[in-house]
Amino acid sequence: MNVPVRVRRLAHNQDLPLPVYATEGAAGMDLLAAIDEPVLIASGQRVLIPTGLAIALPAGYELQIRPRSGLALRNGIVLPNSPGTIDEDYRGEIQVIVLNTGNEPFQVERGTRIAQAVLAPVVRVTWDEVADLDVTARNAGGFGSTGR
């Protein structure tokens, strides 16, 4: 299923390609760094990397911003708020918080694939407040309780 999403290129993205799916079965599209100068991210440092894109999502959708597995494995580059969410009513620039958990500095250059974007439907909650909840085998057990 294809869902139309309106996209606006900002001035610092004019020469970069729009995000695309790398393969027929890919769930995410790579987001590119729209920076003018290389950014060196030291080990343990967080930086905000612009993409130069702003979007208008249709009602009932979010755009999830997720890490790229290759960057995480090879360089320790992760997104600390993963997945990040672009809400349907946000119209500002998509920017990515990048954290270097690796041992070496990591350089981001113009056009570096820094994250991936996944379009996802949003289901909204209607709370039904009750006095008691049904009992289950797990009940209130959490934080590793099912691994014992």
Task: Output the pTM of the full model.
Answer: 0.89
CA angle (75, 77, 79) in 5-degree steps:
165
pLDDT, tens digit, for every residue of 97-137? 999 999 999 999 999 999 999 999 999 999 999 999 999 98
Beta-bridged to residue 93, according to DSSP, are 54
Per residue in 40-81, pLDDT tens? 999 999 999 999 999 999 999 999 999 999 999 999 999 999
Q: Give Cα 138 distance to the centre of its chain.
A: 32
Cβ–Cβ < 8 Å for 140, 132: no
Report the percentage of the chain scoring pLDDT > 70: 99
Domains and CATH numbers, the chain: 6-123 (2.70.40.10)
d(CA 141, CA 55): 41
Q: Which helix (H) or strand (E) holds 133?
A: none
